[in-house]
Amino acid sequence: MFKHILLLVPLLLIFSLHNPKCSAQSPAPSPAPEAAPHIVSILKKAGHFNTLIRLLKRTQMDRRIYSLLNNSNQLTIFAPTDEAFHKIPTETLRSFTIQQKIQLIQFHVINSLLSFSDFQTVSNPLSTQAGDNGNYKFPMNVTMSGSNQVNITTGVTNATVTGTIYSDDLLAVYQVDRVLLPMRFSVSPPPAPAPPLKPQEVVLEPSADDDKPSGAVPVIHRGLSTMSFVAISVIAAISLCV
């Protein structure tokens, strides 16, 4: 009996090798996708960005940024330091509505990935999450000087990029020395030109003297009466002579 079992073992091995179900290997599990970078974690690690972190959380823009990155949207963020926030009056920041605070954070988020060298050739004005970059709304221009210094102007604020905090294939975060205030918050657009006045007809109101007869009429009347009297007198004289 034992000999029969030993004879069956090689047959079972041969069968298992030729059976595709037995010989097929299970596929290796695919690697888990990398999680998108989280802006709050990046700023906490860098330090001295507490005010910006509070605004990100209060406006829920940290979730918005994470969602954009998680959907493979490339972004660039200008991050003002705590010292930069201290340069603007506290009452100014407190006076902003929640909508303005959202727009303020959105204004610091560029809708494209910019490496440091890209600042030299980038097209102005930049497109931000705040939206319309036209005059008196959310314009932002970036230039690079000969000393490789990146300067930012918004029409209200002049700032400088003072360092790189984070950079990968989706996100670049740069430290700036001032809070970027948009024109929409502090500069009112000039009033629209008034429409041209329509030409009005000139109406001449009658004067008080219009109801009075002019001086010429009585003169004419008097002239006609005198002539008639002379003619009658002549006719009468002739008739007497006849």
Q: Whole-angstrom Cα distance, residue 240 to residue 242?
A: 5
Listed by start position, the domains of the chain span 39-184
Q: What is the pTM of this model?
A: 0.65
CATH class of 39-184: mainly beta
pLDDT the model gives residue 171: 97
Two structure tokens written together for 62: 């940290």
Q: Using alpha carbons only, how large is the chain's radius of gyration in Å?
A: 47
Structure token pair of residue 169? 């294939």
131 beta partners: 128
DSSP, residue by residue, 93-123: HHHS-HHHHHHHHHHTEESS---GGGGGTPP
Q: Which DSSP helix (H) or strand (E) runs through 173? A: strand 171-176
pLDDT < 50 stretches in the chain = 1-2, 5-6, 9, 15, 20-24, 32, 202, 216-224, 226, 229-230, 234, 238, 241-242
pLDDT of residue 151: 95
